[in-house]
Amino acid sequence: MKRLLSSLALTLLTSFFLAGDYANGELIFNAKCASCHYPTEEINAAPGLAGVTERWAGKEELLYLWIKNPNAAIATGDPYVTGLVNEYKARFGLMAAQNVNDTEIEDILTYINEYVPPVVSEEVVAVQGGGEESEDQGMSWMWWLVFGLIFIAVIFSLSGVKRQLEVAEAIKEGRSPEEIGYGEAMKAWMWDNRTLVSIIGIFVMVLLIVAAWDWAARIGVYGGEDVVENYKPDQPIKFSHALHAGENQIECQYCHSTAQKSKTPLIPSANVCMNCHKYIKEGPKYGKDEIAKIYQAIGWDVENFVYTGDTEPIEWIKVHDLPDHVYFNHAQHVKVAGLECETCHGQVDEMEVVEQVSSLTMGWCINCHNETSVTQMTASGSENGYYDEIHARMVSTDQGVELLREYLEDGAITAKELGGWECSKCHY
């Protein structure tokens, strides 16, 4: 009977906290609490909140006071509050007062009590080569090779049959068969059909030249719009740009901070990741496994909330690369020209795994310089003192004014007309 009454009392106490709105509690928790607390037992920047109603049973008013004004709760001298401060303040600091009312607190506690951890879906990340497309393409070439070999075998077989028939006919007519080798027979056939052979020869030569040109043009190029297998390497950590740049709307230059300042956009160090992931320990796509790799790289002790000093560099695989003889400056394009990252890199905010979508060949670049209008760049709102200076120089001389008029015949000045096709711009 005593046990039954205790259970009933605990149920009544718990129901005090479950009178709120779960959905509203989730919204408030994510907005005000999630940066420090998890609704589970796991520690984030502060202890987990699972079981909070049981721990504060009988002290409901004090719990509400603690949430709204921790210093006032401490001033009551309550032993439980004093114990919390002594245990956690040195490690996590004192919780800030929260601007919430009693109804909102009820909603938050309802959410915590009824919280069920989401099931993390295992997403298959495509690796370099495009998977099935790569395999299909390989099989296609293999079949062409098989058919070619069969065709050659049939030709030689028919040639042998023809020779045997000629020998049999010569013997039947009483003539001695002429023994002519395959090489001499081929030469004789080619001479008798020299017009056809010349046409075939020219066709094959053109095919070889085109193939050689395409091969040379692809040196140092990993992907491209006209390539089935866009370069998409499997990275050491599964970092989702669709989540970070897309759903969370983190600016590209928060991580790639030197894109406006230098030649390279900078691969962010793990320290940048820790600005958020010191507190966010579990992701919606890959759970804790991938974030744990960041902790291992930076030397972060999750349990004690300290750096150990034992670090391991993350060996990211470069996706967008140019040949060594090409010079490309990000600051010139991002800061001066005011181009968006998507111009060259595509919709990265929609990519689970970053891939190369533009060919980045010389033809692709000079075509962009030929079509991109400087007047469009200045209209984008970027700081284009560089173009203002060029304009000032042009209008200072009669020759420059004439040149400016020539450029403006089509209503716009392109990057090409300002030297964007000069060899020394990219090959110095």
Are 256 and 265 spatial neighbours (Cβ–Cβ below 8 Å)?
A: yes
> Of residues 221 and 59, which shows the higher confidence score?
59
H or E, element range at 306: strand 306-307
User: Does 123 have pLDDT greater than 50?
Assistant: no
CB distance 50 to 40 below 8 Å: yes
State how far the Cα of 345 lies from the Cα of 354, in Å rounded to an integer: 9
pLDDT tens-digit profile of 217-239?
Answer: 666 666 554 444 578 888 999 99
Residue 8 pLDDT exceeds 60: no
Mean pLDDT of 265-294: 90
- The confidence band for 134, taking pLDDT boundaries of 50, 70 and 90, is very low
Q: What percent of the chain has pLDDT over 70?
A: 80
pLDDT at 44 over 80: no
Q: How confident is the model at residue 11 (pLDDT cuts 50, 70, 90)?
A: very low
pLDDT of residue 177: 62
List, in sequence order, every residue forming a beta bridge with 283; answer none if it has no partner: 287
Per the model's pLDDT, the better-predicted residue between 173 and 291 turns out to be 291
Give the per-residue pLDDT at 327: 92
Rounded percentage of the chain residues whose pLDDT exceeds 90: 19
Bigger pLDDT: 263 or 171? 263
pLDDT band at 383 (very low <50, low <70, confident <90, very high): low
Strand partners, 307: 300
Q: Are 336 and 384 in contact (CB under 8 A)?
A: yes
Q: Mean pLDDT throughout 408-413?
A: 76
CA quadruple 283, 286, 287, 292: dihedral positive or negative?
negative
Mean pLDDT of 121-140: 45
Q: How confident is the model at residue 139 (pLDDT cuts 50, 70, 90)?
A: low
pLDDT exceeds cutoff 80 at 151: no
The per-residue pLDDT for range 199-213, each reduced to its tens digit, is 988 988 998 898 888
> pLDDT for 323-373, tens place per residue?
888 999 999 898 888 888 999 999 999 999 999 888 888 888 999 998 888
Structure confidence at residue 228 (pLDDT) = 42
Return the minimum-mean-pLDDT range out of 53-62, 97-106, 220-229, 364-373. Answer: 220-229
Residue 108, classified by CB atoms within 10 Å of its CB into exposed (0-12), middle (13-18) or buried (19+), is buried
pLDDT per residue as tens digits for the range 26-38: 888 887 888 788 8
For residue 283, the SS3 value is strand
Asked if the model's pLDDT at residue 322 lies above 70, the reply is yes
pLDDT for 201: 86
Say which residue, 299 or 118, is predicted with more confidence: 299
- Mean of all residue pLDDT scores within the chain: 79
Q: What pLDDT does 223 receive? A: 55
Is residue 38 within 8 A of residue 26, CB to CB? The reply is no
Contact call for residues 319 and 356 (beta carbons, < 8 A): yes
What per-residue confidence (pLDDT) applies to 10? 42
pLDDT level of residue 181 (50, 70, 90 thresholds): low
